[in-house]
Amino acid sequence: MHIMELADFLTKEQVVTDLKASDRWEAIEELIDLLVANGQVDSDHREAIVSVVKKRETSMSTGIGFGIGIPHASTDLIDDVTGAFGRSRGGVNFDALDNQPVNLVMLFLVPQGQFQKHLHTLAKIAKVLHKKEFRKSLEEAEDAAEMYQIIRDAQEI
């Protein structure tokens, strides 16, 4: 079974270096807007996808500690796994498990019925983001291209 890597479904256009969001709901909308802008999500489906991610987030915050949030959901409105990565310099209130603001947000969308298949991907994303050096280099990167390169390089780990 192929476990996807972050770089398998991210492009540098799907990386935001400076999220404007102040809370997790705004962050989710901002990252989904980016996917719409990049043609990953049909604009007609934006509201439905925002709603399914928010519903999942309401059941339990995906702020997993260490300044990381991984909002995710499965939906029949997409055909392939997709995602967007955002960095917040000021920190986003994510109601995280450790009550700390979130600086790195990885939004992850999976086609309906494929979530089991992608649980390993989600676990892998969480594991990579738990690496302190990786987070630090992302937080210090100059721009989206550099952040994307760091994400690509992390695959070698």
Distances (CA, A) of 126 to 20, 64, 106, 120, 142: 23, 8, 9, 10, 23
**DSSP secondary-structure letter at 14?**
G
pLDDT bucket at 20, cuts 50 / 70 / 90: very high
Nearest residue to 109 via CA among 2, 10, 1: 10
Query: Per residue in 29-68, pLDDT tens?
Result: 999 999 999 999 999 999 999 999 999 999 999 999 999 9
On whether the CB atoms of residues 83 and 121 are closer than 8 A, the answer is no
Cβ neighbours for 63, distance < 8 A, ≥ 6 positions apart: 24, 69, 94, 95, 96, 97, 98, 100, 102
Q: What pTM does this model have?
A: 0.93
Tell me: pLDDT of 149 over 70: yes
Mean pLDDT along residues 126-138: 93
Domain annotation for the chain: domains and CATH numbers? 12-154 (3.40.930.10)
pLDDT value for 68? 96
CA pair distance 14, 40, nearest whole angstrom: 9
Beta bridge partners of 23: 93
